[in-house]
Structure 1
Amino acid sequence: MTGSIAETITRAVQEICDAYGYDLIQMETMPDHLHIFLSAPPTVAPTEIVKQLKSITANRVFATFPGLKKKYFWGSGFWSRGYYIGTAGNVTAETICRYIEKQKSPRKEVKRR
């Protein structure tokens, strides 16, 4: 997810947050995943937020780039089934923002035995 695809996803996520009353605190697009830090009302289940984000962004990407589905995703969806959700209970929002920002920097390869 780079270039105009990343821009489309970023705009879509912001629009989703605005529409559903979520506060998008920080977001970084990586080549193969996203880091999203948002605040939502306690009455909304985190799994519901993930479903909204995944389905709406996938629809937006495929509508904006129709050739993408035919070329790369003809047998599958845009997003994988998995996701990770964490809460900010024991750390500050600032710490989470720093972590997300650091994810954008190049990673060093780890040699495996």
Structure 2
Amino acid sequence: MLTRPVFTPKYRRHAFFGEVRERLMQVLRETCLMRDWVVLGMEVMPDHVHLFLSVPPKWAPSDVAKILKGVSARRILQEFPKLRRGRGGGHLWTPSFYVGSAGNISAQAIQRYIESQRKYQDDDA
């Protein structure tokens, strides 16, 4: 099953730059690898994360998003304690998320969309 989780940091703050961004990408990849989920696309923007995954059908899309958010929040907040301060109140992610399964849209179209997100961020900089 192809799933597309998208989630944002608490208060949509711009938290994912440089070392934090690279480590978050690594944590997400490791989490997927441990569960035999295949990362087909990933873009970590300063204020949100897009993923495109191939996940065995035994996993509910909402469980995939919850696991990714839980594991990444724990590790990132341990390694970057400055993210605990401020408006986030010790939380990395908002309680909500979007997750969809790819059925009507081709996998190539989803990958193009995720890759295009980086271009829009570069244009805004």
* Normalised-by-shorter TM-score class: 0.7 to 0.9
Q: Which SS does the other structure have where 1:9 is aligned?
A: helix
1:34 aligns with 2:49: yes
Q: Determine the C-alpha separation between the residues in 2 that align with 1:76 and 1:47.
A: 23
Q: How many pairs does the alignment contain?
A: 108
Q: Deviations over 1:60-82 (max 9, x none)?
A: 11111122213453x24100111
User: Percent of pairs identical after alignment?
Assistant: 37
Give the counterpart letter for 2:92 in structure 1. Answer: F
Per the normalisation by structure 1, the TM-score is: 0.87
Give unpaired runs (5+ residues) of structure 1: none
Q: Quote the residue 1:98 is aligned against.
A: 112
Q: Which SS does the other structure have where 2:94 is aligned?
A: coil
Q: Quote the residue 2:71 is aligned against.
A: 56
**RCO greater where, 1 or 2, for CA within 8 Å and sep 6 or more?**
2
Runs of 4+ aligned structure 1 residues displaced above 3 Å come to none
The range that moved more, 41-50 or 85-94, is 85-94
Q: Determine the C-alpha separation between the residues in 1 that align with 2:81 and 2:87.
A: 11
Give unpaired runs (5+ residues) of structure 2: 1-15
Per the normalisation by structure 2, the TM-score is: 0.79
1:86 aligns with 2:100: yes
CA contact (8 A) 2:28 2:68 kept: yes
Q: Determine the C-alpha separation between the residues in 1 that align with 2:56 and 2:97.
A: 20
Identify, as 1 or 2, the structure richer in strand.
Answer: 2
Larger radius of gyration: 1
Q: Quote the residue 2:11 is aligned against.
A: none
Q: Determine the C-alpha separation between the residues in 1 that align with 2:112 and 2:119.
A: 12
Give the counterpart letter for 1:87 in structure 2. Answer: S
> Aligned-residue CA RMSD in angstroms?
1.8
